[in-house]
């Protein structure tokens, strides 16, 4: 009798969720033991109420009448995982460059620094990698200045040209000055210089 009861309870809870929400087995453990919750979620997936993104990760689909299912972005999924794990994350590499508009390349493998566990999550053809790092790398205040630091690390000191520096200075105008100054202190010396120059 437990199976349909758990499934019905979860189905009722889903009606209160926003369409487009990323959900986890852990979100429903108030309604049954892990095994019965997993089975209930799989049955809801078979009925088309949920979409399974990866092992233990589901999506309450938002559907557009023309485009069909609007899948969450890699970033939405990564943020949802971080919220669940109560972990901080910072985008790195090509993903940071892409978010800043410094690269048009959309990476299939997105890497985040985290104070959570190191692991990979495969979502279809995409992979989200969480790399455990020292707390210092996660102390940045500004979203933009944090991305700039990671983007510059990805490019490398020897490959940063004046055009890139000019673009970065322009991007940093959207960040609060106090965030730029605080975050510059956490960056390597050559990146610190670029950040500080942007507010002069």
Q: What is the span of the domain harbouring residue 105?
A: 74-197
**Are 88 and 34 in the same domain?**
no
Q: Indicate the pTM of the whole model.
A: 0.85
Kindly report, residue by residue over 86-135, the tens digit of the pLDDT. 999 999 999 999 999 999 888 899 999 999 999 999 998 999 999 999 98
pLDDT at 4: 80
pLDDT at 135: 87
- Strand 109-114 to 126-132 pairing: parallel
Q: Which has more confidence, 65 or 128?
A: 128
Neighbours of 53 (CB within 10 A): 20
* One domain, residues 58 and 123: no
CATH number of 60's domain: 1.10.10.10
Q: How confident is the model at residue 137 (pLDDT cuts 50, 70, 90)?
A: confident
Count of domains forming the chain: 2
Q: What is the pLDDT of residue 1?
A: 41
106-111 own/partner pairs: CB under 8 Å, 24+ apart: 110/74, 110/75, 110/78
């Amino acid at each position: 009798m437990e199976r349909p009861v758990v499934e019905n309870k979860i189905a009722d809870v889903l009606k209160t969720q926003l369409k487009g929400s990323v959900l986890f087995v852990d979100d429903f453990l108030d309604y049954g033991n892990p095994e019965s919750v997993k089975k209930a979620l799989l049955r809801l997936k078979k009925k088309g109420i949920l979409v399974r993104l990866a092992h233990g990760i589901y999506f309450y689909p938002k559907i557009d009448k023309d485009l069909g299912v609007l899948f969450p972005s890699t970033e939405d999924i990564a943020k949802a995982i971080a919220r669940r794990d109560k972990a901080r994350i910072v985008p790195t590499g090509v993903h940071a460059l892409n978010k800043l508009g410094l690269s048009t390349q959309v990476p299939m493998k997105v890497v985040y620094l985290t104070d959570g566990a190191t692991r990979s999550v495969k979502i279809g053809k995409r992979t989200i990698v969480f790399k455990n790092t020292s707390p210092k790398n996660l102390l940045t205040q500004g979203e933009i200045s944090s991305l700039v630091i990671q983007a510059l690390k990805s490019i490398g000191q020897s490959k940063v040209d004046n055009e890139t520096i000019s673009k970065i200075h322009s991007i940093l105008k959207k960040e609060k000055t106090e965030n730029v100054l605080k975050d510059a202190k956490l960056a390597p010396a050559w990146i610190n210089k670029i950040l500080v120059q942007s507010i002069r």
